[in-house]
Structure 1
Amino acid sequence: MADSKDRKVRWKGRDASETALSSPMSGIYNAIKEWTPPSGIFADSSVLLLTNWEQAQLLNRACFGRPYPPATAPPPSSAPAYPPPIPGFGDPEAKDGMQLFQLGLEEAFFLSHEMKCIQIYYQTSEGERVFLSDDELWRRMLKKRLHFPQFYKAYSHLRSKRWVVTSGIQFGADFMAYRHHPSLVHSDYAVLVMSGEEKASRVSTWTDVHAMGRLCGSVAKTLLLMYVKRKDAAVDSTFPSCLEEFDVETVEVNRWLPEKNREADDKSQENSDLKDTE
């Protein structure tokens, strides 16, 4: 990935950059790590986390998960507020209340394994709650998502560099990568995770590359291919320790525009030729 300092930031609103600087993502992460771990229930292909008011605000600021049940009200017509209010839970008077957050598989495992700030349980048919260790949680997630190790490796790679990562399904991608909260900044990357183990590559033809490139270009995103490959084909992926046996390579796919890459002398000569023909 290119150095983010070399990329133009597309802020949302006049004061968005100042707001982001006053609330850096690293500071939010540190605050999350210091809280008393809330409990979550592994349910189908997500985790439902029960949080108090302060925990809900921090998850909201770091863009982990979403309030459950999701809001049905239409978004406001004005510029997005930061942090966006949690429906029915944004009032400070609700500090004594509790809020459910729905976490995706990668989000839940990152908070449990990497940040060690939540505890996840499984509820049996008899209603008993059984604590899931990282190994047990990993194996359950493996059953829910094909190539989960590769997807989680890509997700944690971006999060460890303090990118905000969300679902990319609306753009035909796996993830979207933002420099800060989506209410403050437009995303930089549409991410495709390339596990290297598919029978056919997801962008195996020029048509595939061109289609994704055109889609990303139309919404001012850069297509980022993340190749997550095993160092050893015989590695046992049934334990999270296998993550150390994966390498990550990133490739940015950009359209080449000749008119933006000409030498100054060539361009001057071209302008001169045009004048001569008039």
Structure 2
Amino acid sequence: MTVLPPLRDPVRRFGSRVIDFDRRIAVMAIVNRTPDSFFDQGATYALDQAVAAGLAAAEAGADWVDIGGAKFAPGPEIPAEEELDRVLPVVEALAAQSDVTISVDTFRASVAAACLRAGAHVVNDTTGLSDPELAAAVAEAPGASLVITHSLAEPRKPYPHPRYDDVVTEVRAFLEERVGRAVAAGVPESALFVDPGHDLNKTTRHSLELTRRLDEIATLGFPVLAAVSNKDFVGETLDLPKAERHDGSIVAATACAMLGARVVRMHDARSAVQAMRMLEGILGFREPILEVHNI
């Protein structure tokens, strides 16, 4: 029987929705309102397409929809006003039409605060609190949660040739220190998630090492988010282009969940939901929906 690292606060509330991460591996769907997004290359840049994608993911069983207006990769700065114009209408529309958990993928305190007021439940910061005001903005929003991700680069800046003596130990120490910052700013531990940041300022070998030792990140006691979908470490491991990384991504997400991840961030929500619901059954988190075989 798989024994997973215990969580400090497994039961979390997001608006009207409650998720018990001792019994649930949440699927976070991805909606990018960017013309140059890493995987879909602007497929949901138009507002109506972004809203439709979020609602479709919720209908497919996704627990969570993550909305981004500026990709992590290096490039020209996206002004805060433009980023907010991209993500805020999607947050408002989803909050009005669904009870799905909503996060905004941003490192800016101003964008985070506006989206939390509009109905978002979580801020997903892929820059590890690069904005010193972000944690306070989350703390000031009633019931808001925060994902702290390991990365080393300044927002939208390159970070060539990353080096680690022990990537897992260093990522874990970074996350623990940033958790301390968030708590000092007023964010309760019961509102925190951590993400080791697969591929973010890491080589493929670093990301594979993080995956096989994810249980060491999970021992921090916070729900771990594994953002592995279609990433380059999957593509380089299998020598596949982005369009052909689906199966490898499902395996990577499953491996992370088996080692303690409680949220998987995935492009194909329907497939990921089926995979995680099946894994929950195998782990004994849930009962079969239908039980007639050989009964």
TM-score (norm 1): 0.30
Structure 1 or 2, whichever has the larger Rg, is 1
Which structure: greater strand fraction? 1
